[in-house]
Structure 1
Amino acid sequence: MDEAVRLLREQVLLSNQCLEKIKALKEVLQAENKGANIVAAVQSLEPALLEIAKLEKKKRDFLQKQSAKDMRTFISQMPPSEAWEILVHLFHRAQEFEQSLHREIIAATLLLEQGKKYVDYNINIMTRTMASNIYTQEAAESESQRGIKMFDSSV
Structure 2
Amino acid sequence: MAGTSSTTPELLQEGAGLLKQELLLGTEALQAAQQLRALLRERTPGQAMPEALGQLERVLGQLTQLSRRLDDFLARTGAARLTAFFTAQPPSQLRTGALALLARATSQQRALRRELAGAQALLAQGKAFADFHVNIMNQTVASDTYTKPGGESPELLRGRKMFDANV
- If the length of structure 1 is used for normalisation, what is the TM-score? 0.80
Partner of 1:88: 99
Partner of 2:145: none
1:59 to 1:44, Cα distance in 2 relative to 1, 3 A: same
Are 1:78 and 2:89 matched, yes or no?
yes
Are 1:121 and 2:132 matched, yes or no?
yes
Question: By how many angstroms is 1:79 displaced?
Answer: 1.5
Give structure 2 stretches of 5+ with no counterpart.
1-11, 142-155, 160-167
Number of aligned residues: 133
Question: By how many angstroms is 1:44 displaced?
Answer: 1.6
Partner of 2:37: 26
Choose which of 90, 98, 104 in structure 1 pairs with 2:109: 98
**CA distance in 2 between partners of 1:118 and 1:33 (Å):** 15
Instruction: Say if 2:86 and 2:99, in contact at 8 Å, map to a contact too.
Output: yes
Bigger-Rg structure (1/2): 2
Are 1:44 and 2:94 matched, yes or no?
no
**CA distance in 1 between partners of 2:127 and 2:46 (Å):** 12
- If the length of structure 2 is used for normalisation, what is the TM-score? 0.74
Choose which of 59, 84, 101 in structure 1 pairs with 2:70: 59
- CA-to-partner distance for each residue in 1:52-72, whole Å, 9 max, x for gaps? 001000000000000011111
Instruction: Say if 2:36 and 2:53, in contact at 8 Å, map to a contact too.
Output: yes
Question: By how many angstroms is 1:33 displaced?
Answer: 5.1
Are 1:16 and 2:41 matched, yes or no?
no
1:112 to 1:35, Cα distance in 2 relative to 1, 3 A: farther
- CA-to-partner distance for each residue in 1:101-121, whole Å, 9 max, x for gaps? 011011011000001001001
Letter in 1 for 2:32: K
Q: Percent identity?
A: 30
- CA-to-partner distance for each residue in 1:24-82, whole Å, 9 max, x for gaps? 00010011152643222101211111110010000000000000111111122112211
Give structure 1 stretches of 5+ with no counterpart.
131-144, 148-155
Letter in 2 for 1:62: F
Letter in 2 for 1:80: P
Q: Indicate the SS of the match to 2:91.
A: coil
Measured on the aligned residues, the alpha-carbon RMSD in Å equals 1.9
